[in-house]
Chain A
């Protein structure tokens, strides 16, 4: 294990232009299951996953410009069990009848109640690839493909998603080629938070969508980051991945930006029109993007396990995150940072998923090329549980 030096902390300034209100808007009087309707889920793609209440699985559909909530009927509480499915991409490919190199596993999440594992998968690599949700039974590792043509579900359109629907006729007569690629989703406090990247403009799109869904999700916020140590700030740094995190009894969102370090954002301040102050807590290195974050406690200390595109798996020491105060003026310079170490024996990790207090789930696969963009897999892709480092 290699120790990495402390990093400077700078500040972030977040101008929340249109973030939907948080917990206050979530008025759930009945089970959310009652708001789902049977029928075809009409998924055009299956990307990031997040679990909500009552075994409801949220599926990010970038091509469809929507998020779909699906009833998995998987509500039986169970303890986590070891999972070890070698060559899982070849196994799924064989089940659904496609060459393994044409099958892409997009995300991995664990049902927090049943501890069964769910994968979002593309059967094909083109725009018409069939979206699949695959369940991996805890313990046995048995694979099954969820039916999506007749399932209790609800969907919400992302308001500034593209008019991808065929036949859409914009008033200016020009079809849009814009697509917001959903990069991460988290359900917290009655809201589904969705981060994404646009293929055309450099903008942030962090949304907080009350669940049960309304018809259309509100537009995303604009996020600005200010680097105090240089007397500068930057605009609209898109959030790549994020995780809810309690610091000193308060709810925060720990967010990793595409180009800048890890920041903490108080959840309570994320509401429409608010100016939100956050703080940068670590810089995870250039030419790199964090992919997944798993918080955990071990021997009385708090940690966050972070998987990166280019810099392996890192274990971030998270005991003192409360000490990093938001920076609100250009004269304040905070030169401290959060220490982390790189877990050198964890290689080729493509996804991390929280399992329980002692183990974490990893999906591994070797890359054929340089670690930028979405590098292709060569050889087997394996899904397994390992002890938290």
Chain B
């Protein structure tokens, strides 16, 4: 709609010139050329008529996009393969027919341009968009849980990358091998890939049907991590990042199955080491069992007399230690650690609540508060 309006307006302005050109015998085919500015395509050496031809400008001037190097001679494949031309708008600018693609040029594409003016030879040209930067640079930074022994009911793995990744291809590049190097199937939950908004953190969920006690899958196949068994998580270097470049290197995490975690996290068992006033020493919490890494980043908060204390979190000792360093030195006084009950250990057990509970009466217990408060004092 908008493009036709632009063309109409331009045509009205140019009408006298076009008529003059038409009267004098119009364009000379030998001088016709096509230019690509990096953003738009223009026909030079040809004077467009007063109005678009029947069927519209695309019937005489069309641009076909395809992966660079995928097609043969210019313009020979895209249109012939039945693929439609690029969407965009046509305008006449300074007496030149210009095609403006609706979407910006993508890296690694070639553009086969076909210009077929009535009664004149067809002109074909091929142009190339910006090259695809496929220099490998993205790598796996870390895989959580960090420990070498994972509880047999571990619920999730988190893979952290150094740069944004491409979506929708994890299944082809993430493998779990058994102790003999054989690839295992049915380890992770199928379906959507779960990323963070920057696509730098991928969440893999072990098939919960094999983790939850009493379910058919659990009884038939056993847990996805058998106690005592050895496994390797292998991340293939061919996996592409968001630019389309492969990873700089493959990544592996070897782990062994441990005993299931069957007790929910209990903040009363956490050891809180209060910092001293005046310094930037961290507040430290030690947990008896490993906790969920990404949730440790945001489900523990420190509140003082003046509200939430801003600071940075570091997690160590295989996710059994949480350290909080304030942006400003500690002031003496009373503080509280606000624990979100949604905080999980590595097996998906919440604060005071197991992932799979086997006592029915627990259903009727309504947790009225979403947080627990752990007081500490800075001296």
- Interface residues of chain A, those whose CB is within 8 Å of chain B, are 13, 15, 63, 87, 90-91, 93-100, 102, 104, 122-130, 143, 145, 162, 164, 171-174, 176-179, 181, 183, 197-203, 224, 226-227, 229-235, 237, 240, 258-260, 283, 286-289, 291, 309-310, 330, 367-376
From the candidates A164, A230, A372, name the one contacting B188 in the complex (CB within 8 A): A372
Question: Closest residue to B293 on the A side, CB-wise?
Answer: A200
Given A126-B165, A172-B311, A200-B294, are A177 and B198 neighbors across the interface (CB < 8 Å)?
yes
From the candidates B85, B196, B241, B355, name the one contacting A179 in the complex (CB within 8 A): B196
Give the residues in chain A near B189, CB-CB below 8 Å: 258-259, 289, 372
- Tell me the bound Cα distance from A226 to B215 in angstroms: 11
Given A94-B85, A202-B355, are A178 and B171 neighbors across the interface (CB < 8 Å)?
no
B301 touches A172 (CB 8 A): yes
Most buried by B among A122, A226, A259, A283: A259
- Tell me the bound Cα distance from A222 to B169 in angstroms: 31
Give the residues in chain B near A143, CB-CB below 8 Å: 84
- Tell me the bound Cα distance from A258 to B348 in angstroms: 15
Shortest Cβ-Cβ A-B pairs, 4 listed: A126-B242, A230-B214, A173-B310, A286-B217
- Tell me the bound Cα distance from A375 to B190 in angstroms: 9
A374 touches B207 (CB 8 A): no
Query: Does B23 belong to the interface (CB within 8 Å)?
Result: no
Query: Does B156 belong to the interface (CB within 8 Å)?
Result: yes
- Tell me the bound Cα distance from A97 to B311 in angstroms: 45
Given A15-B363, A372-B171, A373-B170, are A199 and B66 neighbors across the interface (CB < 8 Å)?
no
Question: What distance in Å separates the Cβ of A282 from its nearest Cβ neighbour in chain B?
Answer: 13
- Tell me the bound Cα distance from A130 to B240 in angstroms: 18
The contact sample of 10 A-B pairs, CB cut-off 8 A, is: A104-B167, A125-B166, A127-B242, A181-B192, A226-B360, A235-B353, A240-B191, A259-B215, A286-B210, A289-B189
Give the residues in chain A near B312, CB-CB below 8 Å: 173-174
A145 touches B190 (CB 8 A): no
A95 touches B84 (CB 8 A): yes
Given A102-B244, A177-B201, 8 more A-B residue pairs with CB atoms under 8 Å apart are A97-B86, A125-B168, A230-B358, A259-B212, A286-B217, A372-B171, A372-B189, A374-B191
Question: What distance in Å separates the Cβ of B47 from its nearest Cβ neighbour in chain A?
Answer: 28
Query: Does B309 belong to the interface (CB within 8 Å)?
Result: yes
- Tell me the bound Cα distance from A379 to B168 in angstroms: 15
Give the residues in chain B near A93, CB-CB below 8 Å: 65
Most buried by A among B190, B207, B357: B190
A234 touches B356 (CB 8 A): yes
B106 touches A102 (CB 8 A): yes
A234 touches B357 (CB 8 A): yes
Query: Does B45 belong to the interface (CB within 8 Å)?
Result: no
Query: Does B339 belong to the interface (CB within 8 Å)?
Result: no
- Tell me the bound Cα distance from A102 to B355 in angstroms: 38
Residues B220-276 near A (CB distance < 8 A)? 220-221, 240-244
Residues B153-185 near A (CB distance < 8 A)? 155-156, 164-172, 174, 185
1/0 contact string of B94-129 vs chain A (CB within 8 Å) = 000000011101101100000000000000000000
DSSP majority for the A interface? Answer: loop
From the candidates B78, B186, B309, name the one contacting A286 in the complex (CB within 8 A): B186
From the candidates B203, B310, B313, name the one contacting A171 in the complex (CB within 8 A): B310
- Tell me the bound Cα distance from A383 to B356 in angstroms: 41
A201 touches B342 (CB 8 A): yes
- Tell me the bound Cα distance from A178 to B296 in angstroms: 12
Give the residues in chain A near B242, CB-CB below 8 Å: 124-128
Most buried by A among B67, B103, B192, B203: B192
- Tell me the bound Cα distance from A145 to B86 in angstroms: 11
From the candidates B84, B169, B355, name the one contacting A235 in the complex (CB within 8 A): B355
A258 touches B186 (CB 8 A): no
From the candidates A124, A127, A260, A376, name the one contacting B169 in the complex (CB within 8 A): A376
Question: What distance in Å separates the Cβ of B102 from its nearest Cβ neighbour in chain A?
Answer: 7
Question: What distance in Å separates the Cβ of A306 from its nearest Cβ neighbour in chain B?
Answer: 14
Question: What distance in Å separates the Cβ of B28 from its nearest Cβ neighbour in chain A?
Answer: 32
Question: Closest residue to A47 on the B side, CB-wise?
Answer: B192
Give the residues in chain A near B174, CB-CB below 8 Å: 373
Question: Closest residue to B204 on the A side, CB-wise?
Answer: A373
Question: Closest residue to B1 on the A side, CB-wise?
Answer: A147
B363 touches A172 (CB 8 A): no
Give the residues in chain B near A373, CB-CB below 8 Å: 170-171, 174, 188, 190-193, 204
Query: Does B54 belong to the interface (CB within 8 Å)?
Result: no
Give the residues in chain B near A13, CB-CB below 8 Å: 363
Given A283-B216, A368-B172, are A97 and B295 neighbors across the interface (CB < 8 Å)?
no
Give the residues in chain B near A102, CB-CB below 8 Å: 106, 244
Give the residues in chain A near B217, CB-CB below 8 Å: 286-287
A289 touches B190 (CB 8 A): yes
Question: What distance in Å separates the Cβ of A267 from its nearest Cβ neighbour in chain B?
Answer: 22
Give the residues in chain B near A178, CB-CB below 8 Å: 196, 294, 298
Question: Closest residue to B83 on the A side, CB-wise?
Answer: A94
Residues B282-305 near A (CB distance < 8 A)? 292, 294-295, 297-298, 301-302
Most buried by B among A164, A181, A226: A181
Give the residues in chain B near A130, CB-CB below 8 Å: 103
Give the residues in chain A near B243, CB-CB below 8 Å: 126
Given A97-B65, A230-B214, A374-B170, are A309 and B196 neighbors across the interface (CB < 8 Å)?
no
Question: What distance in Å separates the Cβ of B374 from its nearest Cβ neighbour in chain A?
Answer: 16
Query: Does B22 belong to the interface (CB within 8 Å)?
Result: no
Query: Does B194 belong to the interface (CB within 8 Å)?
Result: yes
Query: Does B55 belong to the interface (CB within 8 Å)?
Result: no
